Amino acid sequence: MEQINIKIYSIESDTTNTLQRMASALFAKGFDLIIQHSDSVDEMMHKKIKGIPALSINGEIIFQDTLPSSNLDFENWVYSYLFKHSKPLTMKNILVPVDFSDTSKNAFQYALAYAEKTHAAIQLIHVFNSPLDAANPAILLSLGEQEDRINESLKDMIATHLPADSKVPVTFEAKLGFAVDELIKLSNTDDVDLIIMGTMGEHIALEKAFGTVSSDVSQKAACPVMLIPPHITFGKIKDILFASDYTATEGQVLDKILKFAKTFDSALHFVHVNDHPDSLNTSPEELIFEKVFASKDPDTPMYFAEVNDFSVVDGLNKYIKNHHIDLLTVVTQKRTFWERLFHKSTTKRMVLNSEIPLLVLHV
């Protein structure tokens, strides 16, 4: 997550302490903060502050001459700022890793249909680290020979799956290295906005929750990753489920998710699974979205739900089936929601048996 610089402008010590406590409470929500205080009148005049207490985020005054009524009120001010300043979700350059398995070929077909809809370009990539001939492992090949054979296979794959009338630009590359490392490197470049890849394959099978290409890349990539289960074809994305965990990450991606949904004229389902059903919870609207959407009237239909289930995975899967969800979206921030959702043994069951694509966003 991008570091947030909070600066409190006040003179009264009690007011200062109150605001510092409110700001410090955000650490527990996953925010990466630097909190400062200023009682300099000259600085306040330079910032054109008309009343104190005041507070700025990354140099921008977000409120002045007022004091938030509660930690939640303070938190909503911060979410509003993050929502306002979130970067657009650009997905014009799609990277599709392939291992020539049926699953990766299916992911390529999905990516082609997705790119047609979004006017994006596709780059196919096969990462290899062996000089052996795949058809005859006893034969050693030179690096050039290996690249030539892979490039021919990539050309054949494009010729087979790219419709003659398609306007999607498709390039390809054979790259020496280790798949996870190379894909993560590419995700950090300006040439890749989205990675679309299959969740199972002959060489990238998700036999473990961690330690495989798909799961490792989806956690560590710098760009969004869309995981496509076997046999899934691209169709109308009518309903998108955003798995909500009430963390700071959500304020940074809400605008992106809304724009993504608007591209496909989709409805958004904000769903939180309460895996402690006996506990008392506040609705998602009150916890996160009240202030974010207070000044907006988005065209995207939105639904809010809290599901009680002792398993996060089971709760999400039930909602997906009951509401005919077309795409599941999660946000990752180091090991917060992702670890909770995908570190347990139930993860393997969800990823391997998922019947819908999974879009992983990173902050």
pLDDT tens per residue, range 262-301? 888 899 898 888 776 555 454 545 555 554 555 455 577 8
Q: Which of 193, 228, 263 is the last residue of a domain?
A: 228
Over the chain (363 residues), what is each successive 10-residue block's mean pLDDT? 84 88 83 88 91 92 88 80 67 92 91 92 90 55 82 93 92 91 93 88 39 75 89 90 67 74 87 68 51 56 83 85 92 56 47 75 77
Structure tokens at 133: 């001939």
Clarify whether residues 14 and 47 are in a common domain: yes
Residue 53 is assigned to a structural domain of this protein: yes
Clarify whether residues 61 and 143 are in a common domain: no
DSSP secondary structure letter of residue 285: I
CATH number of the domain at 53, please. 3.40.30.10
Predicted pLDDT of residue 142: 76
Residue 132 identity: L
Clarify whether residues 147 and 70 are in a common domain: no
Residue 234 is assigned to a structural domain of this protein: no
Residue 52 is assigned to a structural domain of this protein: yes
Residue 201 is assigned to a structural domain of this protein: yes
Clarify whether residues 253 and 299 are in a common domain: yes
- Cα distances from 175 to residues 16, 91, 190, 289, in angstroms, run 55, 23, 18, 44
Clarify whether residues 253 and 342 are in a common domain: yes
Partner residues linked to 37 by β-bridges: 8
Residue 312 is assigned to a structural domain of this protein: yes
| Full domain range(s) for residue 213 | 93-228
Predicted pLDDT of residue 140: 66
pTM above 0.85, yes or no: no
Strand-pair category, 60-64 with 121-128: unpaired
Predicted pLDDT of residue 132: 56
Contacts made by residues 255-258, CB under 8 angstroms, sequence distance 24+ = 255/83, 255/84, 255/86, 255/88, 256/86, 256/87, 256/88, 256/89, 256/361, 257/89, 257/329, 257/361, 258/298, 258/300
SS3 191: coil
Residue 335 is assigned to a structural domain of this protein: yes
Q: Which of 201, 228, 255 is the last residue of a domain?
A: 228
Clarify whether residues 202 and 285 are in a common domain: no
Clarify whether residues 50 and 104 are in a common domain: no
Residue 300 is assigned to a structural domain of this protein: yes
Clarify whether residues 206 and 116 are in a common domain: yes
Q: Quick one: which of 209, 298, 213 has its CA closest to 255?
A: 298
Clarify whether residues 105 and 224 are in a common domain: yes
Structure tokens at 37: 């205080």
Those residues whose C-beta lies under 8 Å from the C-beta of residue 178, and which sit 6 or more positions away, are: 127, 129
Predicted pLDDT of residue 278: 58
* Phi and psi angles of residue 328, each rounded to the nearest 5 degrees, phi first: -100, 130
Structure tokens at 317: 């899967």
Element housing 6 (H / E) = strand 4-9
Those residues whose C-beta lies under 8 Å from the C-beta of residue 9, and which sit 6 or more positions away, are: 37, 38, 39, 43, 44, 47, 49, 52, 53, 54, 55, 56, 64
- Round the CA-based radius of gyration of the chain to a whole number and report it: 23
pLDDT tens per residue, range 55-98? 999 999 988 998 888 887 888 788 777 767 766 566 889 999 99
Query: Chain centroid to CA 174: how far?
Result: 27
Cβ 85 vs Cβ 56: under 8 Å: no
Clarify whether residues 73 and 168 are in a common domain: no
Pairwise CA distance, residues 238 & 94, whole Å: 22
Pairwise CA distance, residues 216 & 210, whole Å: 6
Clarify whether residues 105 and 62 are in a common domain: no
- Angle (CA) 341-211-248 rounded to 5° is 35
Number of domains in the chain: 3
Residue 296 identity: K
- Angle (CA) 57-60-65 rounded to 5° is 90
Clarify whether residues 162 and 62 are in a common domain: no
Residue 233 is assigned to a structural domain of this protein: no
* Phi and psi angles of residue 248, each rounded to the nearest 5 degrees, phi first: -65, -25
CATH number of the domain at 121, please. 3.40.50.620
Q: Quick one: which of 211, 221, 104, 241 has its CA closest to 160?
A: 104
Q: Which of 31, 57, 85 is the last residue of a domain?
A: 85
Cβ 323 vs Cβ 239: under 8 Å: yes
Q: In what order do the strands lie in the sheet with 4-9?
A: 33-38, 4-9, 54-57, 60-64
